[in-house]
Chains A and B, each alone.
Chain A
């Protein structure tokens, strides 16, 4: 006796599973890669490394290297990055831990 629910399109995870998949499909929760690209697009010459450090898709850690930070205070540097995301910070992006620098730090040993 063949079970039909997989064939007929019913989501085995139920309605909540379907709803979650739709949320992700709409990109309501940006990925680490998307965050990286948005930072690099918005801040000319910036290089960003972004990791989703809980794996939950809403806590990110970013190291951003940009000459645009030169001559700015840490507060101003972080504001430049936060401004890329506006109200998404604290909402879809629950946390964006930041480290900003003007030049990549060279490991000496």
Chain B
């Protein structure tokens, strides 16, 4: 008998039959890695750029918007596994996390410091 936690559906799009290689596949981590690879500038944040749910996320969004940078944004709040898997990939414990060109640029403190010194504008070119 599967334990209750194992019987939870991983994602709504998951087929009903559990695949045999379930312990190998990690769809959330794969989706995050794919998103980081696909977008030149992507911000993982609490809330959305229109409605940030945390002051640190809000400040990071404001820095990007001040530079007129188009960026993709992912809200980590709807599912705690997003944050968990993101931190496993990035080795960075806090939110927000800004990735540029597939690399972690930093969290709020680093992004703001780079914005103020002009380095952020350079990094986003």
Contacts and interface: CB of A to CB of B under 8 A. Distances in A.
B109 A90 contact: no
B113 to A, nearest CB: 7
In the complex, which of the residues B104, B110, B113 has the most CB atoms of chain A within 10 Å of its own CB atom? B110
Contact of B109 (A86, A89, A98): A98
B106 A75 contact: yes
A47 interface: no
A52 to B, nearest CB: 16
Interface in B100-125: 104-110, 113-114
A82 B108 contact: no
Nearest to B107: A78
Nearest to A95: B56
A21 interface: no
A99 interface: yes
Given A78-B106, A97-B109, A99-B109, A89 B56 contact: no
A104 to B, nearest CB: 16
B106 A74 contact: yes
Contacts of A38: none
A103 interface: no
Question: Which 3 A-B pairs have CB atoms at the shortest separation, nearest pair first?
Answer: A89-B93, A74-B110, A98-B109
17 contacts: A74-B106, A74-B110, A74-B113, A75-B104, A75-B105, A78-B106, A78-B109, A79-B92, A82-B92, A89-B93, A90-B93, A90-B94, A95-B56, A97-B56, A97-B109, A98-B109, A99-B109
Given A87-B93, A95-B56, A97-B56, 4 more contacts: A74-B110, A75-B105, A78-B107, A99-B113
